[in-house]
Structure 1
């Protein structure tokens, strides 16, 4: 809660703005504490601003009809801050300084800062006495309430659209904010990069309406000479409101005919068509429809819808640009990943999957190649960053590691130490995590794994059924851990060694498979371990597909994995 100086500043700002308004104003913080009041509120409540400052508004003032206390859990006033949406009340009372219950009509709207609700503003008036606003004061109060509601709506729309880089998700988030606040129905049409038009959403009171699915899909091309409001808006014309007379005009183009049929099917009495615009282009159009008599869209509502259309257009354009860049980066990433060697003595499989939500591809990679001494080198790594530059850096680091591993018959830890030095001297890669592992088959005895890790999630070893009684079905190989590459060098890098029983499976993976920001990494690793144990008996390619199913919802990282299976005999 702000200190005394902050409250005095708020009073100085609030007083001149609302001193002449015949309604009380309370400014509360997100917990419902009173930050400031206007002079009219002091008069209505019989309390001074100083006496109310810092008090809990619900406990001090809010009462139900007849003055009965209102349970905090059912307080509609406090719910405004919790839910971030405006609310109104006409049957409540506020407790005055002399103990009377003052019947009030109130409206409250959240105060947003940086997309977060930090408080609420409450307007109220005495509905029983002469202090109830009338005439010009009533009009001013109604205008102020309407403006507050619209600003709140625009703020909410801006926030939800800024949280996604997916076009379909942006459209789905837009509908519930417009229906029923501004319209009974909303249709969203988007222009494709090829110049076609698709109706991507028809949203009503219950969201997507299956009965109107037939109106979704490809639309006829927007013939430039048509008088249709939709056609003209798709070509960059200004927003327009259509009344019953305009909607009854015979269509003059195929797209106009589709729009006319759509409006008639809804029983539209008023429609507003606004462009979805960005700095680059008109990306589509939004049609808002009302079906009730006597409720035509006003010029103010059209201006509000036009503003919303611009914000939605910018969000859609950003999502498309992101998608184009993501497609380029994904193609580049896949192109840079090496093809696995074909070896009759062992089975290898790998997968690469871009992040499922809200991120870009980048620095994850896998690699496998035969060394000069006959061992198979397995590599999994992750260069910091999620963009085209990270993908290019990944290719640099992969090629250097290949050369260093081939150059000398050294242990994995020694190669990793040289890679750390080379990365710092020869590249601009800031940091990376890597596992380098050698799979070796002695002339006699079982297969053996030697590996070292530079800050990477540990390998997961899945043992065949015959080997599980004493060692467990699946376990992480924790040995060989060292510092990440680029952290200043690690003079104590070590190798881990492990015998690989016939039929066992080794899984190397990047952290996108197990990690979500803000979640417990240990829980993700345990979930992977249990799932991998359950699907270990699948053929190796299908095993990899099954492993990808545990990528956690909300993951913001791409995923690479490399699996090796020891021959059964």
Structure 2
């Protein structure tokens, strides 16, 4: 969209652009960052030299153009729909915003991945509002001044760094990943070394991460990491004070030259000697309620020392880091509680003589989700075993409680009628679900395994709305056991439930699984079932534990937000039956 011939108050457009051209010689041209000035409609008014170089465009090709239409692209170089453009939304609402790794078109037809920072900007008078857009490559090493040393950060550089810190640290809920991102944000932009000390939940100190910038890359120094002495209550030394939550401070080798007042002082002296740091700035990392640790930035190659003017920026960074680490720790605690609860609700598998059996449970990525996926296996008689897998609707404590109810009732009904068919047991269970269980709806498969009079292993099953079991022979043929498929539990319908049976060949594997292994919002379940069949066939020769672990890695969708349960059974070679066929229970 080109600019109109006149401005909002009748000013000829070439006059307006000429006046804005003068801005290049005032604040914008003095910025090291690539800066583009736009009006409140998103039209480019001017751009400094750094922006022209970064975008590969002359000023005359930028001025008057719609910034979004001209520059913004998707990862394939195609025009980005305006409804998907976060940058445009920020511009038009007159707010401050920051974005990571968007694509921008250059004049030569190539696209470049850049980050951006937008801030409202008074153009010429209070009546004329616009926005200043800073573009930068967050993955590019910071520029060096004369002598090969890093140039000081401008105020806009600092704002961009803080915006990037917020984006980087709040986009992960993994503590270790957050620590590495924090170090990468500060080194080498602010320092040659980054040292992160954390206080554990037992009030112990751990030097969690030490990294240096060497040969253009960040290198982790594991020899300097590990447990630290306890925090002294009265020590005036910088790190000790920071770990107690005191304000940030400066330090150097001389700070720790005298007689050490604590074990932490001894470790700090070793740190300065080993790293060669001549100057350091140390700030506490505070959470919402407690001090979580401290960040130490050190300089060994850069000749300039930290000064008091550097501390406010460091405190801004650690403040953001504290909130991010607080969230990550809370997430991990919730996840641990959820996983522990779920695993205690799931049973230990019985030993079925002459067969192999194993199970897997992978929780949902959501820390608060205790899923409704479950499996079970138990003996009905000396020679007959029940197998089951199911999924209660929901991803919360109610689903987990419903799962426990369902599994316990299934055991009771199956035990009370060991000669009943799987469909009879599941029909009885469905009646109970409607009247005494707090389960909205659920899917499941119940199966019985025994040896027939000829010494063959037989599987009898009924399916209540669940994905079908997969039978894989040792030579790599795989087929779904799609028979006996009935309605799920909890619907209130009273349709008869079918049964099916098959002989399981020697050395074959039967796999029961929940839908989290094969289904995602992005793909139909048929796609997932086909993937599972192909991968399972290729892994048929693997030991059973390796078979299940590899299937989870290869088949489970990366964007899956559901939990997954697996139950796998492998039949022995022919002639390896664990007991004679006579006297074995028979049922249909």
So what's the TM-score if we normalise by structure 1? 0.70
Contact 1:201 1:208 in 2 (8 A): no
Aligned-partner Cα distance in 2 for 1:327–1:552: 21
Aligned to 2:581: none
Equivalent of 1:315, from 296, 321, 324?
324
521-530 or 201-210: bigger deviation: 521-530
Alpha-carbon offset, residue 461 of structure 1: 0.6
Structure 2 unaligned spans of 5+: 9-19, 29-34, 49-57, 79-85, 88-97, 108-113, 120-129, 136-150, 576-588
Aligned to 1:427: 437
Does 2:180 correspond to 1:172? yes
Aligned to 2:349: 340
Alignment of 1:179-258 (within 5 A): 179-205=187-213, 208-209=218-219, 212-242=221-251, 246=255, 251-258=260-267
Aligned-partner Cα distance in 2 for 1:443–1:293: 83
Aligned-partner Cα distance in 2 for 1:366–1:378: 8
Does 2:509 correspond to 1:505? yes
SS in 2 for 1:285: strand
Alpha-carbon offset, residue 412 of structure 1: 3.3
Alignment of 1:18-97 (within 5 A): 22-23=26-27, 26=36, 35-37=42-44, 51-53=64-66, 56-57=69-70, 84=100
Alignment of 1:273-288 (within 5 A): 273-288=282-297
Aligned to 1:563: 568
Aligned to 2:139: none
Aligned-partner Cα distance in 2 for 1:515–1:198: 41
Aligned to 2:91: none
SS in 1 for 2:42: strand
Aligned-partner Cα distance in 2 for 1:276–1:553: 36
Distance change (3 Å), C-alpha of 1:45 and 1:313: closer
Structure 1 or 2: larger helix share?
Answer: 1
May I ask how many residue pairs the two structures share in their alignment?
Answer: 485
Equivalent of 2:412, from 403, 408, 411?
403
Aligned-partner Cα distance in 1 for 2:503–2:160: 64
Show CA shifts across 1:324-380 (max 9, x none).
Answer: 333333333232222333343x52422234349565553322111334796432101
Equivalent of 1:376, from 366, 380, 385?
385
Aligned-partner Cα distance in 1 for 2:326–2:204: 16
Distance change (3 Å), C-alpha of 1:147 and 1:414: farther
Aligned-partner Cα distance in 1 for 2:489–2:202: 45
Aligned-partner Cα distance in 1 for 2:452–2:62: 89
Contact 2:360 2:567 in 1 (8 A): no
Alpha-carbon offset, residue 208 of structure 1: 4.9
Distance change (3 Å), C-alpha of 1:425 and 1:272: farther
SS in 2 for 1:84: strand
Show CA shifts across 1:58-117 (max 9, x none).
Answer: 69xxxxxxxxxxxx99xxxxxx98983799xxxx99xxxxxxxxxxxxx993349xxxxx
Distance change (3 Å), C-alpha of 1:545 and 1:86: closer
Distance change (3 Å), C-alpha of 1:232 and 1:326: same
Does 2:116 correspond to 1:109? yes
Structure 1 unaligned spans of 5+: 9-17, 60-71, 74-79, 94-106, 113-118, 125-141, 466-471
SS in 2 for 1:209: strand
Show CA shifts across 1:277-333 (max 9, x none).
Answer: 112311111111223556344555422322322332233233333333333333332
Aligned-residue Cα RMSD (Å) equals 4.7
422-431 or 183-192: bigger deviation: 422-431
Alpha-carbon offset, residue 390 of structure 1: 3.6
Aligned to 1:456: 466
Aligned-partner Cα distance in 2 for 1:46–1:521: 53
Alpha-carbon offset, residue 203 of structure 1: 1.8
Contact 1:162 1:315 in 2 (8 A): yes
Aligned to 1:291: 300
Show CA shifts across 1:474-510 (max 9, x none).
Answer: 2222233345445665847544432323343211123
Does 2:373 correspond to 1:393? no
Show CA shifts across 1:210-233 (max 9, x none).
Answer: 5x3221111222222222111111
SS in 1 for 2:266: helix
Aligned-partner Cα distance in 2 for 1:556–1:301: 42
Aligned-partner Cα distance in 2 for 1:379–1:410: 15
Aligned to 2:333: 324
Aligned-partner Cα distance in 2 for 1:48–1:343: 75
Aligned to 1:352: 360
